[in-house]
Amino acid sequence: MTVEILKSKILRAEVTEAEADYEGSLAIDGALMKRIGLLPYEKILVGNITNGERLETYAIEAPEGSGTFALNGAAAHRGKPGDLLVIMNFAHMPYEEARSWKPRVIVMADHNRTIIKERSPEGETGEPFRVAACETAS
């Protein structure tokens, strides 16, 4: 048996743009996508912490170090610049593996310029660092 389980999450990402005249998606700073292991065009679930809206879309890569979180297309109607988001993606895995799985989680601050908390399957880090300094997740 397999189960669907949280693979990774970005918490408190601030919307930087909302452009309805676009094909769709959520553009995310490429360094952050790499840090949590999110692929371009991977399906994501987005919760708007500010207004309670939820939507399902896919991620596209914005320039690394930009701090971009841009709602595009129909998704642009679910938020506006300044809104805070939680962005989640999921994976299917065998039940036994899922029982001990730990998702990769980052918490944003400072208008998407700083990660204030990070947790990976290997453990938690508590040292803040600037987004421009992000490295690829292992």
Q: What is the pLDDT of residues 69-94, one digit of tens each?
A: 999 999 999 999 999 999 999 999 99
Task: Give the pLDDT of residue 26.
Answer: 98
Annotated binding site: 57, 73-75
What contacts 109, CB < 8 A, 6 or more positions away?
A: 12, 115, 116, 128
Task: Give the pLDDT of residue 2.
Answer: 97
pTM for this predicted structure: 0.87
CATH 3.30.1360.120 fits 2-133, yes or no: no
- In degrees, to the nearest 5, what angle opens at C-alpha 78 toward C-alphas 72 and 3? 90
Task: Give the pLDDT of residue 83.
Answer: 98
Annotated binding site for substrate: 57, 73-75
The answer to whether residues 68 and 13 touch, using CB atoms and an 8 Å cutoff, is no
In the chain, where the domains are located: 2-133
| Residues with catalytic roles | 25, 58
What are 58's two structure tokens?
Answer: 């896919």
